[in-house]
Amino acid sequence: MNNLKKEYMTKVFDKYLNKDFIKKYSNEKTYKKAIFLDRDGVIIKDCHYIKDPSNVELEKNINKVIDLANNAGWLIIVVTNQSGISKGLLSWDDYHNINKRMLKLIGKPNPFAAIYANSLAENNEENAWRKPSPKMLFEAANDFSINLKDSIIVGDRFSDIECGANANLRLGIHVLTGHGRKERKSIIENMDINSYFKAKISNTKVKLIDDLRYFPTNIFNTNT
């Protein structure tokens, strides 16, 4: 067993909480809305188990989406599966270095209230952090008093949208970037005629867009 796999065996979940957001919202008792973002394929381009910070490149329009969410008072939270760690292809240090480069490229005070990640290739009874499990979303809801029923998720994989449905989010937005093109057919097959995600019993609607340039900006100020 190599050292990277040994590291995975001792740690399967990672949570970063932005102290500025913790301080700001620690005394608030009202429930907040959140936009959950997958990392690879949504915030940054998917480079297949990326570990070299020099390869980090932001997806188009992510800064505009971040600004819109911030201006509307929504929390922005990253939820990411990182199975490359359990496969011995990268380390937790590699993962953190990619995040540091991502934040540098965003080029503003850290806009993310939190970043949740797991290293699992598949879930088991003890560790069910991997999407489509909603456990990372539930963890965030507990950390920040989030109203999940009014929140949304953006992802390029079927598991992202299913995760949102498992948490009964209001909306799941599927993009074609990252793995989106090969996953789109499965998404469509699991939408009913009213665009609800029918693979789970939930009230989660699905919105299909090409990339973040077509992000439905009205969701931050309406209930539609």
Report the catalytic residues. 38, 40
Q: Are the C-beta atoms of 113 and 21 separated by less than 8 Å?
A: yes
How far is residue 198's CA from residue 93's CA, in Å, rounded to a whole number? 38
Largest CA distance in the chain: 52
How far is the C-alpha of 51 from the C-alpha of 48, rounded, in Å?
Answer: 9
Q: In the structure encoding, which two tokens stand for residue 56, read together? A: 């980090």
Contacts of 40 (CB under 8 A, 6+ apart): 46, 47, 50, 80, 156, 178
Task: Say if CB 154 and CB 211 are below 8 A apart.
Answer: no
In whole angstroms, what is the distance from residue 191 CA to residue 165 CA?
12
Pairing of strands 34-37, 114-118: unpaired
Rounded-to-integer distance, Cα 206 and Cα 164, Å:
10
Per DSSP, the three-state class of 100 is helix
